[in-house]
Amino acid sequence: MTLVDENCSKDHSERRLTNQAEIAALKAELHADWQFTDDETAIIRKFKFKNFKKALECANLAGEMSETQGHHPDISFGWGYCHILYKTHSENGLTRRDFICAAKLDQIMMA
């Protein structure tokens, strides 16, 4: 089963990931544009577009998908860009839920 096949149900632990090999394996399932934040407590993908409308569409798609998963990103967007950041705030770091939502967003943006 891949990350995109999973759901962020309450069945998934919100346990903060600390095993670097596990984190690296999860990140390897994502698009190469996902990066760790400087403090390595979140993952972020920076999308670039040629206009505001596409950036808004990206923000809306990310918001809608995340709402269905019950796990919400920080989203910032404007003319030509949309930045999506996943972090489990209650754990002050990364959980499997962050990677699941990132993978689902990758799938949506490739469609």
Segment 27-82, tens digit of pLDDT: 999 999 999 999 999 999 999 999 999 999 999 999 999 999 999 999 999 999 99
User: Which one, of 49, 9, 2, 8, lies nearest residue 30 by Cα?
Assistant: 2
- Whether 5 has a pLDDT exceeding 80, the answer reads yes
Tokens of 107: 């799938």
Could you tell me the sign of the dihedral formed by the alpha carbons of 30, 59, 42, 12, in that order?
negative
- Amino acid (one-letter) located at 47: F
- Whether 12 has a pLDDT exceeding 80, the answer reads no
CATH of 17-110, one of 3.30.365.10, 3.40.50.1370, 3.40.50.720, 3.30.1360.20: 3.30.1360.20
Mean pLDDT score across all residues of the chain: 94
pLDDT at 13: 65
d(CA 46, CA 61): 14
> Residue 49 in 3-state DSSP?
coil
d(CA 105, CA 69): 11
β-sheet bridge partners, residue 49: none
